[in-house]
Structure 1
Amino acid sequence: MKETITGPIEAKLEQAWQVGIKKIYAGIAQFPGGLREIAESKDGRYFEESYESMLDFYHIGCWVPSFFTGWALIAYESSDDRSLLRWANGLQGSYEKKVFEHADNTMHDLGFLYSPYCVKLYKLIGDLNHRKTALRSAEVLASRYVVKGEYLKAWGRMDENDPSSWGSGIAIIDTMMNLPLLFWATEETGNYYYRDIAIKHADMTMKRMVRPDGSVYHAYRFDSDTGQPVGGDNHCGHSVESYWARGTTWAMYGFAIAYRYTGNRLYLETAIRLSEHFISQLDDKIVPVWDFRLPEQEPDHRDSSAAAIAANAFMEILRFDPGNVLLKEWTDRLLLKLSEEAYTDYNPDCPGLLQQSNGKRMYTIYGDYFFMEALSKRLSKPLTDCW
């Protein structure tokens, strides 16, 4: 696809990026105040009446709000519109309260919450309060480390000792994208405690969750008493032995970032191997099926969020493997396809950006965020890395 490396692709991607900037203003205008879980939406209207019924920010299951605040910070960097910065900064108290007063009611997704918000804001404006809160979130995340098994427990409170409780002994592939918070904490403090835990979890993921063929399990279960491996598990893909597309992209991006922080070639090689196998599963529709191993009778709904995350993963790998022609080509193929009207919603008044996310034909705030992050990188917009 030679058109992926010529001028017209930048023009098309610029159109999608520009509407994404307009949409964050629409979203902020419609934001009713008070951070909550921003649920998937059929029509992209994230903040209509259903918003008030969503999980409170301090609920253990809340993990996506920073993709909204992080999107605003992406827009701020390119526009230098300080109203965006003031709006995002005004939510600081909620982030502090979550990890200083409600730390027991958190899960592994602290990286998704605090890297695009506190880490990013600290890098942008140098506010030591954001640094303090981000380091506290890394401390809370590190407390989820289970020595017997060498993994970060994904779900459930850490003071739950019942082996039959929800989340007992479970590690999940998504956690690879929460490890950057721990790596950052070590770089910021010089304390290798955080880095060592991140490395232990990444190594476990390579050993237990990456299959020999380059596909991945969504989850892996350990005996919560002994730490002995039990086997693959699933909570997001179609089945235990299926091949969940978005989970693969979390791993691709996470291992590439882990290489950036550690220099461990095994992480880069794993990211490349996962990416190549991911690409081998793509068909002429370009955007991946939400699970690559669906039974024939299942509808092959697409997951645009997985495509957006994959594009970011490819560009992260290309920082260290710039001659990888396959990943260059597929970065452009994915982003160009996502910029089509079948996927990008070009109505500037609708907060949702990316359609057909998560295999359920929904808009998701994380799909929107990672699409904007990928577009910003590909178009060389100002972008401070939060991961």
Structure 2
Amino acid sequence: MFKKISKISIVSVVLLCQVAYVKGQINPDDALAYCSVQAQKTLQNIPFSSANIPRSIPNGEANWRYVNYQDWCSGFWPGILWYLFEGTKNPLFKKQADRFSKELTPLSQSKAIDHDLGFQIFNSFGNGYRLSRNPEYKKIVLATADTLATLYNPKVGTILSWPRPVPNMDWPQHNTIIDNMINLELLFWASKNGGSKKLYDIAVSHALVTMDNHFRSDFTSYHAVVYDKETGKKIKGITHQGYGDDSMWARGQSWAIYGYTMCYRETKNPLFLDFAQKVSDVYLKKLPADAVPYWDFNDPAISNVPRDASAAAVVASALLELSTFVKEKTKATFYKNQAIRMLTTLSSPDYLSGSLNDAFLLHSTGNKPAKSEIDASIIYADYYYVEALVRLMKLNKGMKLVAQVK
């Protein structure tokens, strides 16, 4: 089905990325060529089963662990393929992106089981519609936005993240996790492309209430906040995947940076632009020298704990966009340069998977407290890495990073 990828081509594209790293710069075209080779390797090994969507590769292993369309990570793989089609124009990626996106169709036809519908459907069908204008994709995105909106609690003002018992979440009280900020993009888009205007209001309310309750005085984020489902009063701020309730879990802070940058793009509300900078600045201030964070900034064993390349990829993508919104030129340049610094490190021999496995990146950490996906290759790290590369390519060409599609 697929042309065999030669070892010579794998080595050559890895070397291109490494040469860019040595020179202290990142060429997005070379890095996208590397991602293209790795993705084609994955496509050659996809199993013929209902669980055929890559999710993660454990440290030291070579093979993907696969999941089905119901997994919260199911949208990242088709999203990667759409971005590779955009970045390389290779029709193979469009064909395969369509194939894997369509596997997620049942999510638009069933009751919401959690907030992750944005990760699943907007990354797949949303990117697909942006690049193909397929009207069937648009119908699926709009239907899924309505499904996500059913989790909104107007007494609280946020979307319920996990409508089921989760440890320390005081179920059946209302819980909201910082990850949910990313899923608001689905609602914003739908409200502007044929969906109800109420979806926009829900997204704005969620962002504002989260801003008021999810952050400490230094602008670091809790992973989760529990609210009284009847009064809307905040009960507590806690973690589920970070080191502790008062720690800055790296990926959680990255979701905040990305989420509030996106909220500013969609609303032009200066509150969101100001807040995006505040949550970015505290993250950047605490970064280690290579710009890839340890899994949690407050782990007392720092320097001897796993990194999280996924957080670095999310932040790199977000900062590229944030740099286009900040009016003060010095600050805008700073954000852009920090993003390039992160991408350069991620494109170095220390972080590229290369011949070790078929992923793009090494050294991401999923859920360390649960001893899950520690120092692994994880699909969402690859997604935000390739998204950031496409954004950098566009930035270099003077193009809009995120075009408004209707």
Query: Normalized against structure 2, the TM-score is what?
Result: 0.83
CA distance in 1, matches of 2:170, 2:298: 29
Match of 1:73 in 2: 82
> Pairwise mapping of residues 35-46 of structure 1 onto structure 2 (< 5 A)?
35=51, 38-42=54-58, 43=60, 45-46=62-63
Q: Distance in 2 between matches of 1:297 and 1:337?
A: 19
User: Relative to 1, partners in 2 of residues 1:384 and 1:69: Cα closer, same or farther, differing over 3 Å?
Assistant: farther
Q: Distance in 2 between matches of 1:148 and 1:111?
A: 22
Distance of aligned partners of 1:285 and 1:121 in 2 relative to their CA distance in 1, 3 Å threshold: closer
In structure 2, the residue matched to 1:153 is 160
Higher relative contact order (CA closer than 8 Å, sequence separation 6+): 1
Unmatched tracts of structure 1, length 5 or more: none
Aligned to 1:211: 216
- Native 8 Å contact 1:77 1:383 kept in 2: no
Aligned match of 1:371: 385
Alpha carbons 1:124, 1:384 under 8 Å: kept: no
Whether 2:354 is the aligned partner of 1:346: answer: yes
C-alpha change, 1:44 and 1:136, in structure 2 (3 Å) is: farther
Aligned length: 368
Which whole-Å CA distance do the structure 1 matches of 2:21 and 2:103 have between them? 45
1:51-66 equivalences in 2 (<5 Å) = 51=66, 54=67, 56-58=68-70, 62-66=71-75
Q: Secondary structure at the match of 1:186?
A: helix
Aligned residue for 1:133?
A: 140
In structure 2, relative to structure 1, the CA distance for the partners of 1:177 and 1:46 (3 Å cut) is farther
Question: Which whole-Å CA distance do the structure 2 matches of 1:290 and 1:299 have between them?
Answer: 11
Percentage of pairs with the same residue:
29
Counterpart residue number, 2:258 = 253
SS at match of 2:325: coil
> What does the per-residue CA deviation read over 1:260-299, in whole Å, with 9 as the maximum and x for residues that have no partner?
1101001011110111110110122321111111124893
CA, structure 1 residues 98+300, in 2 after alignment: closer, same or farther (shift >3 Å)?
same
Which of 231, 242, 267 is 2:236 aligned to?
A: 231
Matched, 1:114 2:115: no
- Pick which of 322-331 and 205-214 moved more: 322-331
**Hey, what's the Cα distance between the residues in 1 that align with 2:258 and 2:34?**
25
SS at match of 2:104: helix
> What SS does structure 2 have at the residue aligned with 1:379?
helix
Task: Classify the secondary structure of the residue corresponding to 1:232.
Answer: strand
Write out aligned runs for 1:258-277 (5 A).
258-277=263-282
Unaligned residue ranges in structure 2 (runs of 5+): 1-19, 369-373
Per-residue deviation at 1:164? 8.1
Aligned-pair distance for 1:16? 3.0
What's the offset of the Cα at 1:80? Answer: 2.4
The answer as to 2:306 corresponding to 1:292 is no
Contact 1:36 1:65 in 2 (8 A): no
User: 1:276-315 maps to which residues of 2 (within 5 A)?
Assistant: 276-296=281-301, 299-315=304-320
Structure 1 CA distance for aligned equivalents of residues 169 and 252 of structure 2: 25
User: Following the alignment from structure 2 to structure 1, what is the Cα–Cα distance between the partners of residues 191 and 319?
Assistant: 25
Please, what is the CA RMSD of the aligned residues? Answer: 2.7
TM-score (normalised: structure 1): 0.87
Contact 2:75 2:101 in 1 (8 A): no
What does 1:167-186 correspond to in 2, within 5 Å?
A: 168-186=173-191
What CA distance in whole angstroms lies between the structure 1 residues aligned with 2:102 and 2:76?
Answer: 17
Q: CA deviation at 1:226?
A: 3.0
**Could you say which residue in structure 2 is the equivalent of 1:17?**
32
CA–CA distance in 2 between the matches of 1:267 and 1:236? Answer: 25
Secondary structure of 1:220's aligned partner: strand
Question: Equivalents in 2 of 1:113, 1:22: separation in Å?
Answer: 24
The AA in structure 2 aligned to 1:284 is A
Moved more, 288-297 or 16-25: 288-297
Moved more, 134-143 or 318-327: 318-327
Match of 2:336 in 1: 328
Q: Per-residue CA shift, 1:307-328, capped at 9, x if unaligned?
A: 1111111111111116223212
Q: Distance in 1 between matches of 2:352 and 2:303?
A: 25
